[in-house]
Amino acid sequence: MPRVFFALPFPAIDPVAIAIGPIAIRWYALAYLAGLLLGWWLARRLVARPGWKLRPEALDDLLVYVTLGIVLGGRLGYVLVYNPSYYAEHPLEILFLWRGGMSFHGGLSGVAIACWLFARQRGIALLEVTDLIAAIAPLGIFFGRLANFINGELWGRPTDVPWAVIFPAAGPEPRHPSQLYEATLEGLVLFAILQLWAWRPRAAADAGLLTGLFLSGYGLARGFLELYREPDPQLGFLWGGLTMGQLLSLPLVGLGLLLLLGVYRKRRRALP
């Protein structure tokens, strides 16, 4: 048990942002909406720059594909990876999205499939689509992690740091506000890094650059921050003391680095 010098009380923020009669709109839903709409707005400005083959008018359809990929992939990923035994006994609860239970890695897989379908339907190179999504994805991660904090879920491990928070559902122990760590590193910092490259003139050899930066950057950030996040109780620590989040992030780092290596080689071949 860590020695406690100071702890912050959990802010009493109602998970329901707006309630009109029986209709309740939660912060979690607004976080998804904010990430999607701001991402769509930013994507339209990015593709208007030289070098992008996607056109702004195509992004309305892409938004629909990505939204379905996030929701279906995120939910199925959580059901199949994080809590399969529970949902095998309660299959109808798979549809109860308002009770939480979304997996980032599942959502990422869903978005990847959505991008592939969109690219195939439009006759566009897949990396052209994934690069665009990669440039804006950290916005959604940022808002999503803020919503996790408001919901008082996915809290961190016990600690005695001065900014520790006592989460009502996690017992009396002060804990790392790991949701805010993730919002900062996986969201704001990764977004800033990607913008440094996204707004540069885009050449043919750059296909895959933003995708590689996002995958490797997110995988490294998530793997590191899992050291401060409490593992899911139904899973605990897995092989080698790693968490499920770390194990799922390792392939992202590997794939991201392979894409970056491919971009480096293409650039070398393009040199006069």
Report the alpha-carbon distance of residue 223 to residue 235 in Å, rounded.
16
Report the alpha-carbon distance of residue 262 to residue 209 in Å, rounded.
9
Indicate the angle between helix axes 104-122 and 244-270, nearest 10 degrees.
40
Sign of CA dihedral 164, 103, 251, 265: negative
Write down the pTM of the prediction: 0.90
How much is the pLDDT for 121?
94
**Extents of the domains making up the chain:** 29-270
Rounded average pLDDT per 10-residue block, the chain, 272 residues: 63 82 84 94 94 91 95 90 84 77 89 96 95 96 94 92 92 95 97 96 92 98 96 83 92 97 91 74
Is there a contact between 90 and 111 (Cβ–Cβ < 8 Å)?
Answer: no
Give the chain's radius of gyration (CA, Å): 20
Distance in angstroms between the alpha carbons of the first and the last residue of the chain = 62
Is there a contact between 137 and 144 (Cβ–Cβ < 8 Å)?
Answer: no
How much is the pLDDT for 4?
47
How much is the pLDDT for 223?
96
